[in-house]
Structure 1
């Protein structure tokens, strides 16, 4: 098995002079840069001379500086290949985890509860969405999408709980909470306030035994039965899209249609979209 330059240097390092050790130290610390330096340039970088660099190559068993530099380049390229393979392994692992979650989602999703959620959305006089930390992106997406179809849709602040935000909710309102690991205390505080008001509570979480999943009137989960520490927010976005599409298909009243028409007119007038 071919030895790397670092292995060769470590073997001969004790026999090198102080000046030669400077070159050896530089080679181990700056392998990528060394692959493209001339002997003269390397000597200057290491604080020695071109002659010392050439002597080091002979002491290490090479036929000269060019031969040593070839090994430096090969080691650097090999290391790059290892790094790329490790990065590729990470990407593949994430894709596999996401794929497994999505494959399980249709079978674990309770379609009765999903329909209840859509019905509650349609019937609600107001909708308040609570999401914090890693869940905030999913909450914001649902908030943005629902406002195309409903009036009176509100979103929690990402940094904390404002009691005033829930002051307009009634017993006919719907409170939607996104709660994923690590579960935030703000979610529990918001849920308690919604309960006190009497609003219907819809919780979207990773599994039914999560801290707040057990307190829901309507529960939608994304990762039932998984034992891995890997958690994904992507299925929560999928469930959000499902709710919006379900609402869109059920909404046939004039208020929603007129709201859509006004929005499209505003979009066109402001030239918001590229196409």
Structure 2
């Protein structure tokens, strides 16, 4: 049952709880971003009533209910609407700590949600693939790019799909076959193009992996395996801290899996970097 359905089912609610339910339903574009104290003030009730109400609805507490409301908001509010609501409800002096706490919570939730057996299967399948294709569009492109940089150190044939100036996404994956792996990365609001591209890859026989925020995300329907990583709502865009953490784990696990080949590549790279003075080793003068 969705949070909105729970709020509409007012049977058994106290007078104060009904006030809270009515306020949230009437102001769902704003309510998810309010603290328990502010929500109580807006609904003309007490903070303790708000906390008890969350528990009455089946949540562990108000933070748990608030995360559920934010999840719905992510799917329905535009970036502009998110910015307006965040600006109205978050004190500028608390932005830094608020965002960092939200990112910590996203990583904790990801640790509880991700299936370790699935993660290990993904590592095995990627390690056995002839070619690995990685696709992420818009903000997810940053995750895809980061993954591709380090995967190229580990694997011989890694393709980052959708590079600026490259051919159309669908043209780039036309030769994908059953010896390949395809990783699709998408978070709310989900990229239809990423979903369609991975569907083509799967139909061509490739092993497909989705990195997304929920098992209900559209891309899961065309994925052999799904890695779930929470993308926290910290402003007018989603935070990708947890997805980057999962990618770090994939890089580490694949590196360990192919440690002998990786060691040789890294030794060669270090020599090249040294010969061409790629990195500065000088410390700042004190």
Q: By the TM > 0.5 criterion, same fold?
A: yes
Q: CA deviation at 1:241?
A: 0.6
Q: Does the CA contact (< 8 Å) of 1:177 and 1:204 recur in 2?
A: yes
Q: 1:142 aligns with which of 124, 127, 147?
A: 147
For the residue of structure 1 that corresponds to 2:134, the secondary structure is: strand
Alignment map for 1:71-220 (pairs within 5 Å): 86-157=91-162, 161-220=168-227
Q: CA deviation at 1:227?
A: 9.6
Distance 1:259 1:227, change over 3 A: closer
Q: Does the CA contact (< 8 Å) of 1:161 and 1:186 recur in 2?
A: no
Larger Cα Rg: Structure 1 or Structure 2?
1
For the residue of structure 1 that corresponds to 2:270, the secondary structure is: helix
Q: 2:239 aligns with which of 232, 236, 244?
A: 232
TM-score (norm 1): 0.63
Q: CA deviation at 1:172?
A: 1.5
Give CA-to-partner distance per residue, 1:76-115, whole Å, 9 cap, x none: xxxxxxxxx9322222321221121112222211000110
For the residue of structure 1 that corresponds to 2:218, the secondary structure is: coil
- Corresponding residue for residue 277 of structure 2: 271
- Corresponding residue for residue 20 of structure 1: none
Q: Does the CA contact (< 8 Å) of 2:122 and 2:225 recur in 1?
A: yes
**Alignment gaps of 5+ in structure 1:** 1-84
- Corresponding residue for residue 76 of structure 1: none
TM-score (norm 2): 0.61
Q: Does the CA contact (< 8 Å) of 2:214 and 2:229 recur in 1?
A: yes
| Residue-pair matches, total | 189
Distance 1:263 1:170, change over 3 A: farther
Q: Does the CA contact (< 8 Å) of 1:114 and 1:220 recur in 2?
A: yes
Q: CA deviation at 1:215?
A: 2.4
- Corresponding residue for residue 267 of structure 2: 261
Give CA-to-partner distance per residue, 1:154-187, whole Å, 9 cap, x none: 1111568433322343201110011101111210
Q: CA deviation at 1:228?
A: 9.3
**Alignment gaps of 5+ in structure 2:** 1-89, 282-286
Distance 1:264 1:133, change over 3 A: same
